[in-house]
Amino acid sequence: MRSWPELSIPELSSGFALPALSLYNTASAQVEELAKKKIYRMYVCGITPYDATHLGHAATYLTFDLINRYLRATGSEVLFVQNITDIDDPLLERAQRDGISWSELAESQINLFRGDMADLHVLPPSDYVGVVEAIPLVITAIEKLQIAQTTYQVEEDLYFRIHSDPEFGTRSHYTNSQMLEIFAQRGGDPQRAGKENPFDALLWLAQREGEPGWPSPFGIGRPGWHIECCAIALNYLKPDPRDDFAIDIQGGGSDLIFPHHEMSAAQSRIIGDQRFARMYVHGGMIGLDGEKMSKSLGNLVFVSALIQQGVEPTAIRWALMGHRYSEDLMWSDSLMSTASEEVERLRLNLARMEVAPTTPVIENLIAALSKNLDTPEVLDVLRRWMLDTESGVVGGEAGELGRALDSLLGFSL
């Protein structure tokens, strides 16, 4: 599927040394250093295109954009793949509610998402892949699971025996009762009669009346949610067989820890030759004015609406960077207006003839990013530089700082 336009990133001067990036790995429950490599493989789960692009999406994709930019700045190549779940239950439900075709709804939301990502200066993935176009890959992946005798049928549908992976549960660390509760909340079917284990994952759903279906050796139907991501990741990220892991980073919001990432990893373990991801990195959830931001509450804040109101995309990045990516954030109008003011102040300072020293600012900014993306510290570094500049300290080069902010933070100033 077409991605959004590539952005040119100014190069950092070779005078800046970038330490290895450390990130919080959900699987180990620790902040770990990502060893330096020539090529990193990163897979970030994409949207189901029916409510693009709210601030929760923006926060997630900003986080992985900062990781992408940092790793690239170290001189490495980053293979970055993202999917779009362009066929799934929520999409069909929304299309039916609104009386439009599911494919039209998906197309319009994908277009909106592309535009929002381009506006937010998020670097596009090397491959942006829809599930519908990936159905042949999904079929091949399911056939590998069948050969490994890890599948079974419940009526006309096909399931994966999740405990075929001896490491099932080790990436998400929930108790059995937590997993049962969350699985049911997030599209799972633990109670379905005929399943061998409540957690077994749906691989192929036989066509239901009034729903679309695609031909396959398992009958006409459509893929389950988890199989799509591992099929796409293992194909497009071309794992190196000499590596212990198929990919380096599996990313998404914290609501994907279970079941989605646990189940994708379990399936990938059987389909591929290696364990799936070296690190599982998750962004927090975004709330609004003290409440959870959700479709059901109808309080989603959309990126396109903010931009239409005249908010500049860099200010949205700044506002989201005010908290650590892994923590939940409570959004408010005042957070947005303060961010807009600070970005304007930064722009004015960068336009001055004389500015405070910039090399140590860039060094501190790199150091903060390297420590599990300490973006609140990044903003504090910039606030201190603005104060120094405003109080007449000189000796810096605004152009050098502007390039670093563009390259590492995606700021367009």
* Interacting residues toward Zn ion by CB under 5 A: 45, 229
Smallest distance, Zn ion to C-beta of residue 33, A: 25
Smallest distance, Zn ion to C-beta of residue 264, A: 6
| Rg (the chain; Cα; Å) | 22
Smallest distance, Zn ion to C-beta of residue 252, A: 6
> Which is nearer to Zn ion, 22 or 250 (by Cβ)?
250
> Which is nearer to Zn ion, 22 or 83 (by Cβ)?
83
Smallest distance, Zn ion to C-beta of residue 250, A: 8
The count of C-alpha atoms lying within 13 angstroms of the C-alpha of 52, restricted to the half-sphere facing its C-beta, is: 23
CA distance 13 to 399: 12
Residue-wise DSSP of 132-200: TTTHHHHHHHHHHHHHTT-EEEETTEEEE-GGGSTTTTTTT---HHHHHHHHHHTT--TT-TT-SSTTP
Helix and strand totals (H; E) in the chain? 13, 14
Residue 336 token pair: 């947005």
Residue 169 token pair: 């549960």
> Which is nearer to Zn ion, 129 or 408 (by Cβ)?
129
> Which is nearer to Zn ion, 159 or 276 (by Cβ)?
276
Smallest distance, Zn ion to C-beta of residue 131, A: 10
CA distance 126 to 6: 9
Smallest distance, Zn ion to C-beta of residue 339, A: 30
Reference 267, options 217, 228, 215; nearest CA is 228
Smallest distance, Zn ion to C-beta of residue 124, A: 18
> Which is nearer to Zn ion, 91 or 229 (by Cβ)?
229
> Which is nearer to Zn ion, 24 or 225 (by Cβ)?
225
Strand order in the sheet with 286-288: 291-292, 286-288, 329-331
CA distance 362 to 316: 21
> Which is nearer to Zn ion, 229 or 306 (by Cβ)?
229
Smallest distance, Zn ion to C-beta of residue 82, A: 9
> Which is nearer to Zn ion, 237 or 409 (by Cβ)?
237
> Which is nearer to Zn ion, 84 or 379 (by Cβ)?
84
Smallest distance, Zn ion to C-beta of residue 44, A: 8
> Which is nearer to Zn ion, 121 or 226 (by Cβ)?
226
Smallest distance, Zn ion to C-beta of residue 396, A: 43
Q: For residue 109, what are the CA distances in angstroms to 53, 103, 228, 383, 395?
A: 8, 10, 19, 37, 48
β-strand partners of 275: 245
Residue-wise DSSP of 260-305: IIHHHHHHHHHHSSSEEEEEEEEE--EEETTEE--TTTT-PPBHHH
CA distance 25 to 45: 16
**Exposed, middle or buried by CB within 10 Å (0-12, 13-18, 19+), for 32?**
middle
